[in-house]
Structure formats: C-alpha cells, structure tokens
C-alpha cells in the first residue's frame, strides 16, 4: 500500500491536537501494553520508530530500567518537537529519521518497537528489512497495527459521518490507512520478505477507548489526524462543521458523555534469526 505525503503529514496544529486528544483516547492504553510486553525481553538498547509525540516513548521510559537506552525517532519533526516539549520520566534520545532509511549501523539495537506506525510505511517489506538490519541477532521487533475499522467504533462512527457530509467524495483516510493494514497473512508475508523468516506471534488486543465527551472524540479524529487534510482538501471552510457533525454522530451512538467505544489492534512479535 502506497501512501501520499498528505496521508503522512502530521504538521502544524495537528501535533498538539494529536497529543492532547488522540493520545489519551486511543494511544496511551496500548503504549502501556507494549511497554509491558517489551520489559520481559530485557533489552539494553531500544529503537522506537514512528514515535509520534512520544506516547510509547514515555511508557517505556517509565517501565524499563534506567540503564536501558531509548532512541525515539519519527519522520515528522513537529511531532518530535512536541514530544520533546512534554518530556519523559528519564532522558531519552529524540531523532528525526525515516523508517525506510534508518540512520543507524547494523546490529545497533536489541529491540525495535513501533506503535501504530507500520501502516504509514510506503514499502512495508523494505521497512522491515531496515528494522532487521539494525537489530542484533536474536533481537526483537515488537509492533502494533489497528484492526479493521468495523472493530474500532469511534473511527467507524466518524468515517460514516464524513461520508454523509461529503457524499460525492467521502474522506476515507481512517479506513484506508490506520485501519487498512490488518490482514495477518499480508503482514507475515511482508515480514518474511524483509528477512524475518521465523515464526511471528500475533495477538489481538481489545480495549475500551474513553473520552469525557463526544466532542473530544470528534476533535481528536477530525483535527488531530491527517483526516483533517482530507476534509480541508474538499473545503477548508468546513473543518468546524465536520467536527460538529462528527460530535453529533458520536453523541447519537454513544450518548452525551462520558463516552466509551471498542477499539481493537494486532500486536506482533518477530525475532531476528542469527
């Protein structure tokens, strides 16, 4: 699956809104889960790719021993800048980097982690090959991807609301990208093409996404993700209206608030053979 620059653009105010609304809504619970899954592997040097504003970075800094080095990278400098402004429980290294061309030597890390970033890589197998290259023999690659949009209720609700608002050209960012890379056979094939030829562990993890109000959900998704770029590409003057329509749809389906909706993801573990 190829991605356009608009699909991967987390620029301007999106970074702040992403961290303020989207991180607590959907990312923070899975960040704690991934950090807990990583800890028993006892890594000494961890690379995070597609770190965003650092939800998983902060969880790992809190969960892993203080002598474990953590390097957090992302393609988008504004996301890293916002993450650095928040800070972490202990020092980590922040660095702009493209997952397709990692600026690290072979065998530098014994764990590579990625939370909900793989879907954005233009060439999954090539990115996986880069991960394998920077891993030491026996190292662990731990990552997560969202399940199909039907199993993620807030995303599904907002996507349907946008289709009603723009019937001639519905914005499909959420279904196409964040929720478009969930087939286990497809993921396993890309891992094998990238050199991860062993057995891969897949775990389906279901959680509840919670917000104080339907409007918080609408702001998170309509203004804190690249869905905003799709809305504004259709009519830049209608972002506020789109947010209102999304909030009304969430409120109608889940109540006036606080609101809770199902979310579901795949967590994958792959190891580099010697």
How many structural domains comprise the chain? Answer: 1
Residue 6 pLDDT exceeds 90: no
Cα separation, 131 vs 205, whole angstroms: 23
pLDDT value, residue 4: 45
Please check whether residue 29 lies inside any domain of the structure. Answer: yes
**The domain containing residue 123 runs over which residues?**
14-271
Please check whether residue 46 lies inside any domain of the structure. Answer: yes
The per-residue pLDDT for range 56-104, each reduced to its tens digit, is 999 999 999 999 999 999 999 999 999 999 999 999 999 999 999 999 9
Cα separation, 112 vs 114, whole angstroms: 7
CATH number at residue 180: 3.40.50.150
Please give the average per-residue pLDDT across 119-147, as a whole number: 97
Please check whether residue 3 lies inside any domain of the structure. Answer: no
pLDDT value, residue 2: 37
pLDDT band at 199 (very low <50, low <70, confident <90, very high): confident
The per-residue pLDDT for range 213-271, each reduced to its tens digit, is 999 999 999 999 999 999 999 999 999 999 999 999 999 999 998 999 999 999 999 99
pLDDT value, residue 13: 67
Please check whether residue 28 lies inside any domain of the structure. Answer: yes
The CA radius of gyration of the chain, in Å to the nearest whole number, is 18
pLDDT value, residue 98: 96
What are the helix and strand counts (H, E) for the chain? 11, 7
Please check whether residue 58 lies inside any domain of the structure. Answer: yes
**Where do the H-state alpha helices sit in the chain?**
14-17, 28-38, 55-63, 77-86, 124-134, 153-165, 173-176, 184-193, 214-223, 227-235, 239-254
Residue 31 pLDDT exceeds 80: yes
- In this prediction the pTM is 0.93
Q: What order do you get walking across the sheet with 69-74 strand by strand?
A: 93-96, 69-74, 45-48, 109-115, 135-146, 259-271, 201-211
The per-residue pLDDT for range 140-186, each reduced to its tens digit, is 999 999 999 999 999 999 999 999 999 999 999 999 999 999 999 99
pLDDT value, residue 116: 97
Cα separation, 143 vs 202, whole angstroms: 10
């Amino acid at each position: 699956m190829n991605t356009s620059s608009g699909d991967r653009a987390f620029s301007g105010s999106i970074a702040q809104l992403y961290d303020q609304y989207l991180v607590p809504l959907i990312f923070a619970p899975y960040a704690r889960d991934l950090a807990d899954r990583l800890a028993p592997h006892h890594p000494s040097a961890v690379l995070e790719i597609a770190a965003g504003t650092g939800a998983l970075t902060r969880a790992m800094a809190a969960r892993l021993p203080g002598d474990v080095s953590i390097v957090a990278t992302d393609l988008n400098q504004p996301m890293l800048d916002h993450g650095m402004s928040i800070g972490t429980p202990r020092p980590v290294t922040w660095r702009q980097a493209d997952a397709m061309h990692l600026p690290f030597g072979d065998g530098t890390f014994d764990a590579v982690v990625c939370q909900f970033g793989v879907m954005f890589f233009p060439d999954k197998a090539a990115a996986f090959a880069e991960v394998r290259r920077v891993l030491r023999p026996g190292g662990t690659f731990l990552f997560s991807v969202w399940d199909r949009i039907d199993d993620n209720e807030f995303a599904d609700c907002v996507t349907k609301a946008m289709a009603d608002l723009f019937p001639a050209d519905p914005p499909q960012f959420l279904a196409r990208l964040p929720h478009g890379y969930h087939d286990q056979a497809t993921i396993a094939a890309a891992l094998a093409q990238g050199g991860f030829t062993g057995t891969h562990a897949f775990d389906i993890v279901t959680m509840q996404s919670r917000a104080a109000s339907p409007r918080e959900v609408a702001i998170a998704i309509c203004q804190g993700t690249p869905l905003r770029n799709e809305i504004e590409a259709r009519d830049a003057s209608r972002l506020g209206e789109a947010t209102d329509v999304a909030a009304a749809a969430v409120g109608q389906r889940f109540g006036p608030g606080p609101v809770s909706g199902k979310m579901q993801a795949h967590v994958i573990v792959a190891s580099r053979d010697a």
